[in-house]
């Protein structure tokens, strides 16, 4: 049995009125942690630069097919318009789970001629995110 996680199984959920709902028809989602650094180079280091961490943050990018009938897709645009922070969970429901709070920084809907309408959103982390490896049943394999 493989422990590899298929992208089809990993989904982004947002809190809509207190209920975690999957972001509608998301095809791509990425969690992007990053650290800002400051230079700490001294004369003793010679020609080599040195750095230390200053602060950490993260962003989430999500895109997919748009369906206006599903309210949780509209929830991201609504959060952007109203300046709301929203809770999120990124999980496959079996092996891993990430969660935190974000600001929606962009929400785009694209409607190409004779093609499926799509959406894309950028979310900016508000504070730290958490991670856990979910317990799995011992299958003896």
Task: Give the pLDDT confidence of 79-101 residue by residue, as tens digits.
Answer: 888 888 888 888 877 788 889 99
pTM summary value: 0.77
Cα distance between residue 13 and residue 91, in whole Å:
8
Q: What are the beta bridge partners of residue 114?
A: none
Q: Whose structure tokens read 């001629």?
A: 113
Instruction: Show the domains of the chain with their CATH numbers.
Output: 11-131 (2.40.30)
At 2-54, the pLDDT tens digits run 555 555 556 777 877 777 777 766 778 888 999 999 999 998 878 899 999 99
């Amino acid at each position: 049995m493989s422990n590899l996680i298929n992208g089809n199984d990993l989904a982004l959920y947002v809190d809509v009125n207190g209920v975690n709902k999957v972001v509608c028809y998301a095809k791509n989602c990425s969690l992007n942690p990053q650290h800002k650094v400051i230079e700490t180079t001294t004369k003793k280091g010679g020609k080599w630069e040195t750095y230390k961490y200053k602060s950490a943050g993260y962003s989430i990018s999500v895109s997919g097919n748009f369906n206006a009938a599903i309210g949780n897709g509209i929830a991201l645009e609504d959060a952007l318009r109203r300046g709301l922070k929203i809770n999120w969970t990124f999980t496959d429901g079996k092996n891993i789970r990430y969660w935190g709070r974000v600001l929606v920084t962009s929400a785009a809907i694209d409607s190409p001629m004779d093609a499926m309408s799509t959406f894309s959103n950028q979310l900016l982390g508000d504070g730290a995110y958490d991670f856990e490896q979910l317990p799995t049943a011992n299958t003896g394999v």
